[in-house]
Amino acid sequence: GQQVMQIPQYQHVQEGEDFTTYCNSSTTLSNIQWYKQRPGGHPVFLIQLVKSGEVKKQKRLTFQFGEAKKNSSLHITATQTTDVGTYFCAGNSGYALNFGKGTSLLVTP
Partner 1 sequence: DVKVTQSSRYLVKRTGEKVFLECVQDMDHENMFWYRQDPGLGLRLIYFSYDVKMKEKGDIPEGYSVSREKKERFSLILESASTNQTSMYLCASRWGFGTGELFFGEGSRLTVL
In this structure, what are the phi and psi dihedrals at residue 39, rounded to the nearest 5 degrees? -55, 125
Interaction of residue 65 with partner 1, rule CB under 8 A: no
Interaction of residue 105 with partner 1, rule CB under 8 A: no
Closest approach of partner 1 to the CB of residue 6, in Å: 8
Interaction of residue 96 with partner 1, rule CB under 8 A: yes
Q: Is the peptide bond before 8 cis (omega within 30 degrees of 0)?
A: yes
Whole-Å CA distances, 58 to 43, 55, 109: 17, 10, 22
Binding interface with partner 1 (CB under 8 A): 1, 6, 9, 30-31, 33, 35, 42-45, 48, 50, 88, 90, 92-102
